[in-house]
Structure 1
Amino acid sequence: MLDRAAERPLPVQLAGALRAATAGGVLRPGDRLPSTRALAVTLGVSRTVTAAAYDQLLAEGWVSARRGAGTFVETVPPVDLGSTATMPPSRGSTVALLPSGVDLGAGTPCVEVLDRAAWRRAWRAAADAPPDAGPDPVGLPAFRVAVVEHLLRHRGLPADPDAVLATSGSSAAVAELARTLPPGARVAVEEPGYRRAVTALRAAGCTVVPVPVPVDAAGLVVDAVPPGVDAVYCTPAHQFPLGARLSAARRVALVERARREGFLVVEDDYDGELRYDVAPLPLLAALGPDVVAHLGTASKLLTPTLGVGWLVAPPAVVAAVRAQRDATGTRPARAGQRVFVALAAHGDLARHLRRLRRELAGRRAEVVAALGGAVTGEEAGAHVVALLPDGDAERAAVAQAARHGVALDGLARHHGGPPVASGIVLGYAGPTRAELRRALPIAADALAAAATV
């Protein structure tokens, strides 16, 4: 504890206590420290005290500030453990119980609303099946039927179970599809867009076209897709990261171009089920089942623990993926499929989706209110975008929030080339509701300050 009656200034005491906590093993290299604001509240001191202590430790090199992530212990300092001013605190001390930071990045599911009783029940049901004796390159029949029912009920997509393949998730499916394309195949992607998909395409030997396709308020600009591509990757339901929804006219135009020019459309249904105030539009796969490969995943809907997703594609594409799996021994794990089937069979999946939509709608309203309504994107999904004037403002917002224990995600990293937009991609599904409410004022202050930079 800090001693206000001591001769040593409070920042010096706190810096010494943090050094001692590291030397004593309470804090370890790689641990994230709380924000200066959160620490000040915990200790009952001014934030000037905690900021000065952190500045001292940063100057000495014992901690480091990572942009967009927070302040982390870098290494163990040498401490005179005989000094009462620097004795390491016990595990039950104030320093050991400091609150951790909050990550407001996008892409993390809202596991807080998952019914744990239904979760346990599904795993028990999955365990009733006997162990598998051999590989399965397609997916459990029951899983494919469950996916068909889910897509028809929640996404309006009629599909035949024979057109469905189980996958290990959307990114894995992108990689599998990429390997079925001709060597060096040219693929157009959104800008800004989902960089993990771009990485998967390149790793599979595809060439991502050097001029990315821009995105505006109506989604992917179809007229900007260059001629001569072999495939187009897009996120039409809730464009990642800008949050636009591909308009009906552009959906039709993209499918017509694919048919006319002979390219494959890879429809990543990012946040597709997570709509609450937005009427659904026809999926690209419903408009063009002959030219569209539709990808879905349980990772954002439920949890990445299942490691399961689905691919709905034309027969030739399904056959190519199956042949590739047979040749390489690649196969999606069945455990997650069985859990998904059990959740769907008992109605728990549908109930979870209803709870999830209500929860995310409420969270989004809180986010919009906290940010003064200055967000872009459709009223759906699990993130919003707050635009900023330029890259300097974006970096300033990330840095200020990080100093207070909140990790923000800048738009810059979602671009393949020079950024065409600057701002913050703010996710609201991953934290608990309490964490979100604690972090939103910090994020709002950082954005407001950055807007005036």
Structure 2
Amino acid sequence: MSETALPVTLDRDADVPLAVQLADALRAAASAGHLRGGDRLPSTRALARRLGVSRTVTSAAYEQLHAEGWIAGRHGSGTYVTTSPPERSRPADAATPGPQRAPAPLLDLTPGVPWAEGLDRSAWRRAWRAAADAPAEARSERAGLYEYRTVIAEHLLRHRGLVAGTESVLATGGTTAAVIELAAAVFGRDDVIAVEEPGYQRAVQALRGYGLRVVGVPVDDEGLRPGAVPPGVRAVYCSPAHQYPMGSRMSAARRVELVERARAENILLIEDDYDGELRFDVAPLPLLAALAPDVVVHLGTTSKILTPTLGAGWMVAPAAVTAAVLDHRDRTGTRPSPAGQRVLVELARHGDLGRHLRRLRRELAERRTMLVTALRAGGVRVLGDDAGAHLVVPLPSAQVERSTVAAAEAKGIRLDNLGRHFAGEPTTHGVAIAYSNCSREALQRALDVLVELLR
């Protein structure tokens, strides 16, 4: 902003000192947006000359604004307006405010956030640089980059025991994006889809957004109950590896029962492999897609094991489903971005993906042990398998659930209430506590508060 554009007028007949008038005028200009963060102010000498006042007046005004945090000097460059505090401009005769402090951020212990700080920064930068070396594409592959799908096929074989050739893998934008594609390409309006209750509400809303009817199926400590799936459903959406949010694993018997029902009643099973790579106690049970590739759509994502920055996931499905999704992409011109796919390919090429997964399992296993030990020592009951990135503490009622979440927030901790994971009326109450989206030191410091709140 030029000097002549400064919205400053001084009244020499007023009782208010000129330096105070000048500080008030500049402060009001910054609050109203006439001056913006990064605007360069004239020097005290130049401004004094323009206003016809002594340099003492402009120096005193600048010193006041600097103390309040409105302006800052840069050595050898000049004086600049900083980002204005989020408050309305005040009357000129109001008391001068002191420096404003931003509230301390809450320690966020809600599920669904990966251990992003555990990514090897050097490997991350190397992967992005290598990905950028690839020539720009005139058009993206509708199924996803071939080399990405090859990496995913190898990942599924090595880490999930699923034999899937490159041609049977589709790249997606993540789990929710894949559900949206299935809703648009495979199902018809008014089809009934069974979902876990409680369960992943983004999937529920994606299905409902396409006119599909959603019915809840209860879960317990063995996962979804196949016998409770109502007749006539077109598909069942479930998370067998680590049920979201309750943390249970679908038993082998129930997996077989669910597959048998799917084949007998022409039901499509949508397997969300939530936290599937994160088992700490025993080897994971076979995927539904490995048991019945003819009736199972397997969905996975890099968002929980790496970062949502990549926006990359995958789908392995029966041929008819794959064809319908590809046809939908052709008709709508939609397909997942290849940028994140290229980065994952480079992470895998140098072995960084495998190293990160091994480090991730060790870190989260130790954090879970630390948290579970502290809670149980305090007499707090814990639910969920020894797996994944969160656990559940049951509570007796919805009122206790709400008050516990509110009390935790008052102490600087954000917890997740189970009530929000129900499409219908909640029948189970409690809080979910994640241990991946903060430092280990921050989690350690929060243990006493968590035990006291949940005891």
Please report the TM-score for the alignment, with normalisation by the length of structure 2. Answer: 0.78
Corresponding residue for 1:441?
448
- Please point out which of 127, 131, 138 is paired with 1:133: 138
User: What is the distance in 1 between the residues matched to 2:448 and 2:164?
Assistant: 45
Alpha carbons 1:214, 1:224 under 8 Å: kept: yes
How far apart, in 1, do the equivalents of 2:30 and 2:384 lie? 45
**Whole-angstrom CA distance in 1 between matches of 2:269 and 2:210:** 17
Distance of 2:294 and 2:386 partners within structure 1:
30
Name 2:205's counterpart in structure 1.
Answer: 199
Q: What code does the residue aligned with 2:418 have?
A: L
Q: Which residue of 1 aligns with 2:170?
A: 165
> Percent identity at matched positions?
57
Letter in 2 for 1:447: L
Partner SS for 1:96: coil
Deviation at 1:77, TM superposition (A): 6.9
Give the Å deviation of 1:177: 0.9
| Aligned pair partner of 1:156 in 158, 161, 164 | 161
Q: CA deviation at 1:115?
A: 0.4
What does residue 42 of structure 1 align with?
none
Query: Offset of 1:274 from its aligned partner?
Result: 1.1
Matched, 1:109 2:114: yes
* 2:383 partner amino acid: T
Alignment-mate amino acid for residue 175 of structure 2 = S
SS in 1 for 2:101: helix
Structure 1 segment 329-348 matched on structure 2, within 5 A: 329-348=333-352
Picking from 84, 101, 104, the partner of 1:96 is: 101
Q: Does the alignment pair 1:183 with 2:189?
A: yes
- Kindly report which structure 2 residues correspond to 1:48-447, keeping only aligned pairs within 5 A, or say none: 76=87, 87-89=97-99, 96=101, 99-179=104-184, 180-209=186-215, 212-372=216-376, 374-447=381-454
**Larger relative CO (CA 8 A, sep 6+): 1 or 2?**
1
Q: Render the CA deviation track for 1:118-153: whole Å, top value 9, x for unaligned.
A: 111111111111001013210111111100000000
List gaps (5 residues or longer) in structure 2: 1-27, 32-84
Partner of 1:29: none
| 1:414 partner amino acid | H
Structure 1 pair 378/81, CA: closer, same or farther in 2 (3 Å)? Answer: farther
- Structure with greater Cα Rg: 2
* SS of corresponding position for 1:189: strand
Q: Which amino acid aligns with 1:310?
A: W
Q: Deviations over 1:161-187 (max 9, x none)?
A: 111100000000011111211222110
CA deviation map 1:311-347 (0-9, x unaligned): 0001000000000000000110001001111111111
RMSD of the TM alignment (CA)?
Answer: 2.2
| Distance of 1:417 and 1:98 partners within structure 2 | 35
Q: What is the identity, as a one-letter code, of the residue corresponding to 2:424?
A: G
| Runs of 4+ in structure 1 over 4 Å off | 23-26, 77-84
Q: Secondary structure at the match of 2:334?
A: coil
State the shift of 1:366 in Å.
1.6
Instruction: Give the 3-state SS of the residue equivalent to 1:165 in structure 2.
Output: strand
Judge conservation of contact 1:174–1:200 (CA < 8 Å) in 2.
Answer: yes
